Copies of this chain bind each other. A is one copy, B any other.
Amino acid sequence: MCPAGSSRWCPTPEQVMILEEMYRSGVKTPNATQIQQITSHLSFYGKIEGKNVFYWFQNHKARERQKLRRKLTKQLQLQQQQLFHHYFDSLPSPPFQHLSYYNSPPPFPQRVGVHDAAAAAKQGMNYTWKLDVSERMDVDKSMMKMYGGDLLMMVDLSSPSLSSPCFFTTTTNTTTTGPPPLKTLELFPVTASNLKEECNKNNNG
């Protein structure tokens, strides 16, 4: 046991063992009733109060999470060191591949590309991707309406939202005579606060 006049609860080994067993068995955030039961049970092994049990589960849960997260982060940092950043890979992912359509035509003779960007912008549709409907037939109508149909990408350098730090790719569209030059600007990473600001701006403005 702790120092005689300890200011805090010192669980006995039995108490800790039982608590850990309970946690392992699935008790993660006991409710009031459960806390009562546990406290009663554990009081057999030594002085204990409900709040001790409450705190124990709070702390234990939090620290298990923390342990896990740290492990993952460590792993990740290892992965990261071995990682290349491929800007142009063979993925059906939106921005880069679509822009590449300017260089090589789309596999099927569909209308694909930027057209009537002004109208799209008015609708707030400044970016969408093509859903692979063969993969997701159950996608609902509103989804399709919102994101489906034509692929288009639009970047407005003068937009304050994009003057925030980020990576982005843009095209300098001059005329429709030929493929415009492709330019990739690499700035610094988007931060959550940047996005939040923009989000608020968009929601409130």
Contacts and interface: CB of A to CB of B under 8 A. Distances in A.
Contacts of A45: 76, 80, 83
A93 interface: yes
A72 B14 CA distance: 8
B190 A127 contact: no
Interface string A31-69: 111111111110111111111001000000000000001
A167 B40 contact: yes
Interface in A68-90: 69, 72-76, 78-80, 82-83, 85, 89
Contacts of A147: 51, 54
A13 B24 CA distance: 24
A199 B48 contact: no
A113 interface: no
Copy total for this chain: 2
Band of interface residues on A: 35 or more
Interface string A84-107: 010001011111100000000000
A50 to B, nearest CB: 5
A151 to B, nearest CB: 10
Contact of A50 (B43, B89, B129): B129
5 contacts: A25-B195, A32-B126, A33-B78, A33-B161, A34-B199
Interface of A: 7, 12-14, 17-18, 21-22, 24-41, 43-51, 54, 69, 72-76, 78-80, 82-83, 85, 89, 91-96, 124-129, 131, 135, 147, 153-155, 159, 161-162, 164, 166-169, 189-190, 192-193, 195-196, 198-200, 202
